[in-house]
Structure 1
Amino acid sequence: MNYESIKLNIEDKIATLTINRPDSLNALNAQVFSDLDQAFDLLAADQSVRCIIVTGSGEKSFVAGADIKEFSSYNAEEAKALSKRGHIIFSKIENLNKPVIAAINGFALGGGLELAMACHIRYASDNAKLGLPEVTLGLIPGYGGTQRLPKLVGKGMANEMIFSAKMISAEKAKSVGLVNDIFSQQELLEKAKELAAQIAKNSPQGIAKAIEAVNASETEHGMSKEIDCFGDLFAKDDFKEGVSAFLEKRKPSFN
């Protein structure tokens, strides 16, 4: 498919999705949301894709927030619809049946950080700056930021970031658990691809169930979800192949 605001490349079971609005530092607008929605539907259904990397074009910005011009005249009901659309798309990413890695190559602010937090794993370049500046506009994070950030960094740090609107460095983000690792700008995408390639070798059925179980960990049903997911996998082809390969002392081949 052709997209107006993103580039999508699929190679060796890895999809690289690049948000491509460099003139606006890859800011999120209605077109980006539409393209993301369609692209992730396609990637979820494409059995040749085992892992997805999301990044931004250029070396300055992953996503520098929402396109404020687009919603500056919205009324309350229009704003709620905008927030709901962001929630739906970012939840789709969070609950996708295959891992999504954010390669944060610069600014990840506002909606950009919320997009990164919806991904399962976050790598950052050493020049990355992360923050939620919405209160400087008289707003709050509206695409899940107030819910996902406390789970990642704790309530106190989340409150500090949201209330102060300050940006933090990649080093600080790693120290509080917001990003998994840091690399140079030149290494970032390659390191994300290395991780994606390692993930792609493993059972897609197992990983899909792992995502489901981990995402249930914050609910009261997390333990029972894990039990169900564990049991369900015993009826899957990947389990049979994985056990056979182990017993036969060979590498598994998951199709």
Structure 2
Amino acid sequence: MGRFQGRTVIVTGGGGGMGVEICRTFAAEGAKVVVADVNMDFASRGVNALKQQGLDATPVAIDVADRDNVEKVFGEIAQRFDGIDVLVCGAGVRRMAPLLDHSLEDWELTLRVNLTGVFLCSTVAARHMKRKGKGSIINIASVNGVRACEGMGAYNASKAGVISFTQTLACELGPHRVRVNALLPAQTETPMIAEQVGEERQRREERIPLGRYAQPSEMASAIAFLASDDASFITGHALAVDGGYLAFGFRPSVYG
């Protein structure tokens, strides 16, 4: 029997990239997984990927930045599956541009999806968890929320906000036995970073002590740990799964 047998797990952004692997990890451990994405096509794509591995899940379309839609979708899930046990906020966007060239439209979109979306999904799910007397929320932030990177100002700001929001919510929900943590991935093999090839990729890998990008399964394993009873005394934590990236910083190796 898996660690999440019979538990209801919602993964936003579950239809692609890292999200599918997160859903697979929970489903393989017995969870009732809800693959939530921006439209039903993306959500169904994630469910179909799981079915090819003999696993099952439920697809739903959701607009994470629309309070009414989030409340409706989460309410229907809670009613159908007798509550919400775990929420993974993985929906996100990234718009690249120097801050002086950043359009207001892209800035607002990034903050709306990456930060407001986390606020809405986390707080709506938390109300269901409070009624149940327990729960776990994992918000996917980024190492960029701790250490800035040029050309990604809106993304950096949104992820720093996610970390601070996570810590605040953890303090407020602790008395209700609802744990809230953040995951800080470094470079991970997903479609979002597919454009990083050749010398650019090599340069980025040299900044990671382990010398490579992470696999989505390594992020999924860390998220499952934070969601599980194995992490029952961990809340308000921002867990960097980064191959040593934050420890190393941006400086080149001194001793070769």
Instruction: Say which structure, 1 or 2, has more relative contact order (CA 8 Å, 6+ apart).
Output: 2
What's the TM-score once normalised by structure 2's chain length?
0.31
What's the TM-score once normalised by structure 1's chain length?
0.31
